[in-house]
Amino acid sequence: MKAAVITRYGSPGIIEVRDVPMPVPGPDEVLVRVHATTVNRTDCGELLHPALIRMLTGGGRSRRTTLGLDFAGTVEGVGAATGLFKPEDRVFGMCPIRKEGAQAEYLCMSETGPIAAMPSNLDYEQAVVCEGAFYAFPIIEHFAPRPGQRILIYGASGAIGTAALQFAKDRNADITAVVSGRHVELMRSLRADRVVDYSTDEFARLGRDYDFVLDAVGKLGIGRWRRWLKPGGVFAATDIGPGAQNLPLILWSKITGSGRVVVPLAKSGSGQAFVTRLKGMIEAGRFVPVIDRKYPLSEIADAYRYVQTGQKAGIVVIDVVAA
């Protein structure tokens, strides 16, 4: 089978699409023929900083030669002890970071892992939406906004941001989306209540009006978000922030019990329940995939280069099998 292979870590230029042996499913695993995958922020982080990413995501010390979390495809075979899926089922989910990844023609997944039947109203390229949504969901759950409470999402056009916006709107929160000018119409289509271009005076005039602030791209300085939060408000980070400034703030928040600065993470073992829940939201029209652009597997290095620019909106899809 074909797979995007890395023999060392560093720049996208080291990624090669090669022939590698097809994986064999264990007794409790399913073999998935991958139709589509993505290149996302986690993949880029693992390529550049593998030790840090694997520590943060529970991947342990072992390294893998094929990256990729999101997948959508068809079940090709099943292990002897499986019972949830059968050959030709359409499935989607997230490949655990402890296993060889989804940027390949085939992968093996535990049937009790983050895998579920694909939403009936999506094609394969639209269904590779789990990674950003998986990070966004526990943040909005932690905020637990009541109808009308105000949330500012900085960097709302990325995979985490577009998912967080939709999860928050599902709770009837009032959302201000801060993005670059070219993404303003996208934010309006996702029902943001206010859209602010960060290059305008409107951004500079934002005041202390928000119950919650989410930095979905890891670029906000403390001077910004402190000016936006109401007394008692909560700031959620998705990264260590400029100059790693979020680390001591998170630690101090834990020590004091203030809960003012948080990095909510999904509970261990919650992947399958989350993927199943996301499927239901998509089928009900409560969550819409946002696709920036698509690349064939043969051009996956270019996809990494693009994602590393930090300019993408939503997801960047890799077509593994032509639709």
Structural domain boundaries in the chain: 2-129+289-319, 132-262
Binned at pLDDT 50, 70 and 90, residue 320 comes out as very high
Q: To the nearest whole number, what is the mean pLDDT of the chain?
A: 93
Residue 55: predicted pLDDT: 52
Any idea of the CA torsion for 169, 170, 173, 177, to the nearest 10 degrees? -20
> Rounded CA gap, 218 and 158, in Å?
11
- pLDDT at residue number 119: 98
Whether 205 shows a pLDDT value over 80: the answer reads: yes
Region 203-223: mean pLDDT is 95
Q: Summarize pLDDT for 91-143 with one digit per residue, the tens.
A: 999 998 888 999 999 999 999 999 999 999 999 999 999 999 999 999 999 99
d(CA 136, CA 295): 25
The lowest-confidence range among 6-10, 147-151, 181-185, 276-280 is 6-10
What confidence category does residue 229 fall into, taking pLDDT thresholds of 50, 70 and 90? very high
pLDDT above 70 covers a percentage of the chain that reads: 95
Q: Name which CATH class applies to 2-129+289-319.
A: alpha beta
Q: What percent of the chain has pLDDT over 90?
A: 79
What is the per-residue pLDDT for 323?
A: 44
Query: What integer pLDDT is reported at residue 53 of this predicted model?
Result: 52
Whether the predicted pLDDT of 182 surpasses 60: yes
> Does the structure show a pLDDT above 90 at 243?
no
pLDDT number for residue 322: 60
Compute the distance between CA of residue 152 and CA of residue 271 in angstroms, rounded to an integer: 27
Q: 174 by DSSP, 3-state: which?
A: strand
Residue 50 in this model has a pLDDT that exceeds 80: no
Residue 238 has pLDDT above 80, yes or no: yes
- Token digits of residue 83: 């019972």
Q: CATH homologous superfamily of domain 132-262?
A: NAD(P)-binding Rossmann-like Domain (3.40.50.720)
Give the CA angle between residues 96, 100, 103 to the nearest 5°.
95
User: Looking at residue 52, what is its pLDDT?
Assistant: 54
